[in-house]
Copies of this chain bind each other. A is one copy, B any other.
Amino acid sequence: MPTPVTSRITCPRLAGRTATAEEAAALIRPGDNVGISGFTGAGYPKAVPSALAARMHAAREAGEEFRVGLWSGASTAPEADGVLAEAHGISKRLPYNSDPTLRREINAGEVEYVDAHLSHSAQHMWFGFYGHLDVAVVEVAAVLPNGLLVPSSSVGNNKTWLDQADKVILEVNHWQPRDLEGFHDVYYGTRLPPFRAPLQLTHPMQRIGDPYLRVDPDKVVAVVETDAPDRNSPLSVPGDDDRAMAEHLVDFLRHEVRAGRMPATLLPLQSGVGNVANAVMAGLADSEFENLTSFTEVIQDGLLDLLDSGTLTGVSATSFGLSPTGVQRFMSDVGAYKGRILLRSEEISNHPELVRRLGVIAINGMIEADVYGNVNSTHVMGSSIMNGIGGSGDFARNAYLNFFVSPSTAKGGAISSIVPFASHVDHTEHDVHVLVTEQGLADLRGLSPSARADVVIERCAHPDFRDQLRDYVGRARRERPTARHTPHLLDEALSWHQRYLDTGSMLDTGSMLDGGSLLEGGRA
């Protein structure tokens, strides 16, 4: 008797492969490379990772090693990265992670983490740089009668995992709106060099692909039905600092429009994930700006607000990243957003070719910046990974204009986000246009490193750290008079970070500062 099709799996052939999560997980072997769906806690598999983790726990108790290489779109959720990390089941992870358990294991040296530009992750897999992909585990919203897949709330690297994996496990999630059909644009024109062609996209909302993902049905070894929500982290209320940073940034956009360096409708906005991004969107909602567009990675609540108010005409992304109330809002009127939201593969949402062509305005958070404009987005005190570079490099390098944003201090004032020397560099001095803290905004365009230092200290550093920074730069200029392009005292350059590790604060309370003489010593 043929297996009956269900409401979400209307392809008879794939309906015949329905299985439990446990049955599906049993098809994954120790040592496999596993490509999972998921981006910013949306569209990740909800059931198979837990079933796989259970097998890993069992293996561990039996004294056997059961670990896999885990590749994703970007961050997932406790039910995916979290459970597998708890089971100590991940040997290598790429290209992005934000799970705290997994982060701890990476920083303990137990898990190899390859922190890659998101626009590179799919192509590097195709190039063969990461090795062979054994299994794909991909959440979808539905399977059509002809076997085409309606993507879920993120697209990420799913096209690549489905194309490249030997075996495919699908999770069909009934929680995802069936009406997601039509929200996606999956470009199937990618090729390997020397056969690549131009991407013929000239507007953020232009369709260049299909609304569906494709899969070779012969590779589908299991179809698991689920009914579970995305992570949907609640949004914390933006604080005074968030609002101050947003205000500096929106004011600066006004200034650029007035100076004739940007159209009144701005250029397509990209914003990283978090409170500042949402505060910036709120700032734009309260502004005179209209007819905006967005070419970004993630659709947060702030973008939904702008869509609702009509300030934003459309948003191209690769994923949702909504709060529970944001999800509710979207789900209650899905149809109203169709045509105004497009989800693409991350190789397209983050593509250097498109980011540069469209002239994106890139707004991303940072951990710290040094006074010369080098930005650290990934490492705490030089060694511990926080999350990863994500798409910040794709967007910042190719943007028309980029902003890196952070409160000027962290840990209750013990850490300065503006330091003499970045303890890790993810965005170099050649790539950083504007720094923003709650203190102010430093426009670094067209300035030499040494000139930047003065602007960054006076505009962005917290007053508690300004004298220390002036002292460092001033002494560096004087003590190395033939090395003033990027003044540094190498035996002190990382001392702020070391002081934090030693004393819990970057504040130098022991020394006499020499802050008043930045320009002494013959500097022109």
**Within the complex, what minimum Cβ distance (angstroms) separates A258 from chain B?**
12
Give Cα A397 to B116, complex, Å.
Answer: 11
**Within the complex, what minimum Cβ distance (angstroms) separates A303 from chain B?**
19
**Within the complex, what minimum Cβ distance (angstroms) separates A81 from chain B?**
16
Residue of B at shortest CB range from A445? B129
Residue of B at shortest CB range from A203? B194
Q: Are B194 and A490 in contact (CB under 8 A)?
A: no
Q: Are B356 and A352 in contact (CB under 8 A)?
A: yes
24 contacts between A and B (CB under 8 A): A109-B481, A109-B484, A109-B485, A109-B522, A112-B448, A116-B430, A194-B359, A196-B202, A198-B202, A352-B352, A352-B397, A379-B486, A380-B483, A381-B490, A383-B484, A383-B488, A397-B397, A421-B494, A423-B490, A424-B486, A425-B428, A426-B428, A490-B494, A491-B495
**Residues of chain B lying within 8 A (CB to CB) of residue A110:** 524
Give Cα A261 to B488, complex, Å.
Answer: 42
Q: Is A255 an interface residue (CB 8 A)?
A: no
**Residues of chain B lying within 8 A (CB to CB) of residue A522:** 108-109
**A264-297 CB contact bits vs B (8 Å, 1 = yes)?**
0001100000000000000000000000000000
Give Cα A18 to B87, complex, Å.
Answer: 80
Q: Are A384 and B482 in contact (CB under 8 A)?
A: yes
Q: Are B381 and A130 in contact (CB under 8 A)?
A: no
Give me 19 other A-B pairs in contact (C-beta within 8 A), A115-B430, A194-B203, A383-B488 excluded: A109-B485, A109-B523, A110-B524, A111-B524, A114-B446, A120-B430, A124-B445, A124-B446, A129-B261, A129-B445, A192-B359, A194-B268, A194-B359, A198-B202, A379-B486, A382-B421, A384-B482, A384-B483, A490-B494
Q: Is A245 an interface residue (CB 8 A)?
A: no
**Residues of chain B lying within 8 A (CB to CB) of residue A128:** 259-261
**Residues of chain B lying within 8 A (CB to CB) of residue A481:** 108-109
Give Cα A501 to B353, complex, Å.
Answer: 43
Q: Is A313 an interface residue (CB 8 A)?
A: no
Give Cα A431 to B431, complex, Å.
Answer: 13
Q: Is A480 an interface residue (CB 8 A)?
A: yes
Q: Are A117 and B202 in contact (CB under 8 A)?
A: no
Q: Interface residues, chain A, CB within 8 Å of chain B?
A: 92, 94, 104, 106-117, 120, 124, 127-131, 192-194, 196-203, 259-261, 263, 267-268, 352-353, 356-359, 374, 379-385, 389, 393, 397-398, 400-401, 421, 423-431, 433, 445-448, 450-451, 476-477, 480-488, 490-491, 493-495, 497-498, 501, 522-524
**Residues of chain B lying within 8 A (CB to CB) of residue A108:** 481-482, 484, 522
Q: Are A446 and B358 in contact (CB under 8 A)?
A: no
**Residues of chain B lying within 8 A (CB to CB) of residue A357:** 193, 196-198, 353
**Stoichiometry, copies per complex:** 2
Q: Are A483 and B353 in contact (CB under 8 A)?
A: no
Q: Are A194 and B358 in contact (CB under 8 A)?
A: yes
- Among B116, B400, B487, which residue has its beta carbon within 8 angstroms of that of A383? B487
Residue of B at shortest CB range from A103? B485
Give Cα A421 to B422, complex, Å.
Answer: 11
Q: Are A267 and B425 in contact (CB under 8 A)?
A: no
Give Cα A106 to B109, complex, Å.
Answer: 42
**Within the complex, what minimum Cβ distance (angstroms) separates A33 from chain B?**
11
**Residues of chain B lying within 8 A (CB to CB) of residue A424:** 486
Give Cα A131 to B447, complex, Å.
Answer: 11
- Among B131, B259, B523, which residue has its beta carbon within 8 angstroms of that of A446? B131
Contact of A381 with B261 at beta-carbon distance under 8 Å, contacts A117-B430, A193-B267, A490-B498 already known: no
